[in-house]
Amino acid sequence: MEAPFIIKFIETKWHDKQTLVSVSESEYSLKLEQVGNNAFSAHTTIYPKVDKLRFAQLAIKTKNGDQSPPYIAMPNGERRQLESITDPASNEVWWVEPAHWDAKQRVWRSEARRTAGQITFVIGTSILKLDIDISEQTTSDLSRYLSDFKADLWELILDENSHITGEAKNSQVAAVDQEALSLVSSILTNAQAILKKPKVELKEVQALKPVKEVRPVPRTFMEICTKGSRKNLTSRASEPNYNVPENQYVLYVVSSTLSIVKQLVRVAESKKNRFSGAFEKLNDRLSELKGYKKVNRDLLVKDFERLKRICDVDFISDGLNKELAFVNAENEFSSLQVIDIYIRVKGAAKEIDGWFVEFKYSPGEAWRSCEDGKKTILKPLPPYFCLFKKGLDYKVRANIYSHSSTSGRSVILTINYMAKMRVGKGSDAIQKARNSLEKLEKKGVNLRKNNWREELTKEELEEQERERATIERRRSYFDAEREKVGIVHQVLAPKVKPFQQVEKEFRQCKVRSKSTFPNSMAFVQNPAYQAVHSGFKKLKEQVGLADEDILLSLEKIEAIGLVNMPLLYERWCFLQIIKVLIQVFRYQPEEYWKRKLLANIQGNEKQIRIQFFNPAVSRKVTLQYEPFLANGKRPDFVLDVEATTKSGYQISKRLVIDAKYYSAAYLKYRGGIKGVIHELYSSKDYSEGQNNSVFVFHPVLGAVKEVVSPQEWAKDSYLGELSMFDWEPACHERKTTSYGAVCANPIKSQRYLDEIQRILGMFLQYGIENNQSSNRRSDDTEAVNFCISCGSEKVVDVTNSGRYNSKKRWYQCYECDQFTVYNHCGECNTRLIKNGYYWTYLSLMPMSSINIKCPSCESPV
């Protein structure tokens, strides 16, 4: 349902208390979300420290004027009627909060503009709950978002590394190479040559001239008759007119080329800064590689407490019986006859989703199988299956019966009903946990003495050397790219002022810009005119702007000022996703994608769909902006990934992303990362029945209050690597990396693009796979392998080459030397992938930088 109203920020100018002069609307209205029948919600941010925005006020405009006046529903039950103002230019009626008159500034001020919280508006039969967040950001902070947004947009359109140019006629690969630089120089040189002798038309005028030079007109004789003999009389004359179609077009070319050059300079500067930043980040990573590691004390304490709980059979048994009571409450099995039996779980029986077990009927008996020479498999009904774990002994009171398997090679024990269960103290897993607890306690004592530092093991040092080689390779790449971009900047930056001077001189000649090509003989006979036209045409093709509409759209977007920041943040995040797909993971966007993108940013198209292809890794990504899900919900972004596996069949998975421009205080008000993820994943059902991965993009540093991983990114982002929330399933296996939150903040974080690369890389590499398949024969992925560090498909299996020969699968990237290791959890068989220390998105062990905690059962490798 479309809302019967819009809500915007407006700015009014008043002559006096009663006389409205003008109404200025914000570029975009607030985003409305339907939360019920005729019920909507919205979120906005106000900026007390931004002078430009201090006179803006919230305003509502109904779409059918016969509704009753809107009002604010106060917490005490009273109504605060909104007041109407009429735009003198359009006669549109806006409803605003009652305000007080500021005589000094000659403006009406409202309280909602300066207050955080929630306001409930009633507009006819509709209800709007508006959440207002206060931001401490300054004008320069907001301008940074805006300037980054524009620079990123121009970069995507003009990027010299773009794989295709899209809709350019006779399109070539966009490239700012020596040819493009020469074209810019040629246009400038020939425009300067035209200025020396521009095409001109003589326009007949009347002017005073000496008597001997007069060419008479009727006015001449009138002057003689009325004023007698004079030295100067009115005469026919002419003056040069440079405002001819040829010069109008040349001025258009000069202005357009100047705009392109300016943006190429800005893009070059932006990329130079980014490459320099990447180079510095790699230097930081190099400096962090030392002969010791700093152990996270808090995470070590968490592991210690977890091991204590694993050793506590009473704690485990109580938890199992609570879960058992919950399962039994949902089923009616209590009338079945039960017996006491002891069961020892040896391991998973993959072929029938059961457990290999031994059993006995009394404590003093020896553990045995049902029949000699045959394996015994426990197959509980599905509700009971997850209550059993490998390595534990149980005493259960259950209804149980046995029968032979279809093959006759094993005996199946089936549990139909279970009334009670208790874990045995002598369980192998309990004893193993006790041993680990003792070791961890001793290590903790030693670490505390050594200021929580520990020397690296031989394996960790080898891992560090691999990491160092990758960093050095990437440093060389970014250094070379920075040098290339620096040359572009060095050549083009000095061209800006000469182009501005040429443009100024044309305008001084009273020439008006016009984009229509006159197709006159001047462009055939005059080499300078000809060179300007042909050079501009080639330049547009070279930089991917052969479509005139794209250049005009970019010029319009360039004029956008500070806008609705949550919306700007959404679109900034949208550009970052596109940048990572194209520039890092080497996906080719579909034809006409630029036009779609620009139409969306200009507000002409709210919903857009862009497809990206990477044949080298057999994947296709369909990126949608503000699509409707099947359940009617409307997230910000949806990425549908389709992949062809190595064996030739299709797999697909959906990633849903919502961009939340929240302050730290407002994030806390919404329940922190935990509350926002739960709202989107479960309450709004962006997961569509837990089938989709759901992630949040946010700008808040330190948003993760309960860090679960030792990696640096875990302080700001949560990738679902371990359980963190009380609403997650306690017994059933978690769906790994199905939800999370990523910090994307260009102002306070230099690694924000890495954060987005990590989450998208995780989804493309890990999220589309069935990582918990019980019948998997290999730790390797089903889809084609690629490098998450540089996006290259040139990865080679080096498992059987020398020292990497092991049960794991080892892949090395030939372009950046990144190693990727594919392994599995020894406890639950979940696939695990490690991409070195920096790019690994699963949690590393606090005590070891080479071991991963399983995201499903949270056991170490």
pLDDT at 164: 35
Over range 817-846, report the average pLDDT.
90
pLDDT at 732 over 60: no
- The fraction of the chain above a pLDDT of 70, given in percent, is 90
Highest mean predicted confidence (pLDDT) among 55-59, 289-293, 486-490, 810-814: 810-814
pLDDT bin (cut points 50, 70, 90) of residue 750 is low
Beta strands of 15-114 (E only): which ranges? 20-25, 33-36, 39-46, 57-62, 71-73, 79-81, 83-86, 93-96, 100-102, 107-109
State how far the Cα of 68 lies from the Cα of 153, in Å rounded to an integer.
43
β partners of residue 413: 378, 402
All residues at 6 or more sequence positions from 557 whose CB lies less than 8 Å from its CB, including other chains: 150, 153, 598, 601, 602
- The fraction of the chain above a pLDDT of 90, given in percent, is 37
Write the pLDDT tens digit of every residue in 773-811.
Answer: 656 667 899 999 999 999 999 999 998 765 555 568 899
> DSSP string of 389-422?
-TT-EEEEEEEEEEEE-TTSSEEEEEEEEEEEEE
- Domain 306-447 sits in CATH at 2.40.50
HSE of 275 in the Cβ direction (CA atoms, 13 Å)?
A: 20
In terms of Cβ atoms closer than 10 Å to its own Cβ (0-12, 13-18, 19+), residue 512 is: exposed
Write the pLDDT tens digit of every residue in 62-79.
Answer: 887 656 889 989 888 888
pLDDT bin (cut points 50, 70, 90) of residue 588 is very high
> DSSP string of 582-631?
IIIS-PEEPTTHHHHHHHHHTTS-SSEEEEEEEGGGTEEEEEEESPPPTT
Beta strands 693-698 and 650-659: pairing type? parallel
pLDDT at 20 over 50: yes
Write the pLDDT tens digit of every residue in 310-345.
Answer: 889 999 999 899 888 888 887 766 677 889 999 999
pLDDT at 52: 63
pLDDT at 136: 74
State how far the Cα of 395 lies from the Cα of 856, in Å rounded to an integer.
26
CB atoms within 10 A of CB 576: 23
State how far the Cα of 301 lies from the Cα of 437, in Å rounded to an integer.
11
The H or E element containing residue 207 is: strand 201-210
pLDDT bin (cut points 50, 70, 90) of residue 160 is very low
Write the pLDDT tens digit of every residue in 93-152.
Answer: 888 887 777 777 777 766 555 567 788 999 988 999 998 888 777 777 777 788 888 888
Domain ranges of the chain: 5-134, 201-241, 306-447, 627-852
Beta strands 819-824 and 107-109: pairing type? unpaired
Over range 838-860, report the average pLDDT.
85
pLDDT at 576: 94
Write the pLDDT tens digit of every residue in 551-562.
Answer: 777 777 766 655
Task: Say which residue, 769 or 177, is predicted with more confidence.
Answer: 769
CB 637 within 8 A of CB 656: yes
Amino acid at site 416: N
Angle at 646 between CA 642 and CA 652, to 5 degrees: 20
All residues at 6 or more sequence positions from 449 whose CB lies less than 8 Å from its CB, including other chains: none
pLDDT bin (cut points 50, 70, 90) of residue 171 is very low
Please name which of 579, 581, 623 lies closest in space to residue 786, comparing C-alpha atoms: 581
β partners of residue 348: 355
pLDDT at 206: 75
State how far the Cα of 592 lies from the Cα of 612, in Å rounded to an integer.
12
pLDDT at 3 over 90: no
pLDDT at 170: 34
Name which of 156-170, 313-327, 428-442, 806-820 the model is least confident about: 156-170
pLDDT at 742: 94
The two tokens of residue 564 are: 């609705």
The H or E element containing residue 831 is: strand 831-834
How far CA 68 is from CA of 95, 123, 464, in Å, comes to 11, 8, 69
Write the pLDDT tens digit of every residue in 701-711.
Answer: 889 988 889 99
How far CA 111 is from CA of 98, 115, 206, in Å, comes to 9, 6, 65
Calculate the average pLDDT of the chain: 85
State how far the Cα of 453 lies from the Cα of 444, in Å rounded to an integer.
10
pLDDT at 14: 84
CB 430 within 8 A of CB 422: no
Task: Say which residue, 280 or 233, is predicted with more confidence.
Answer: 280
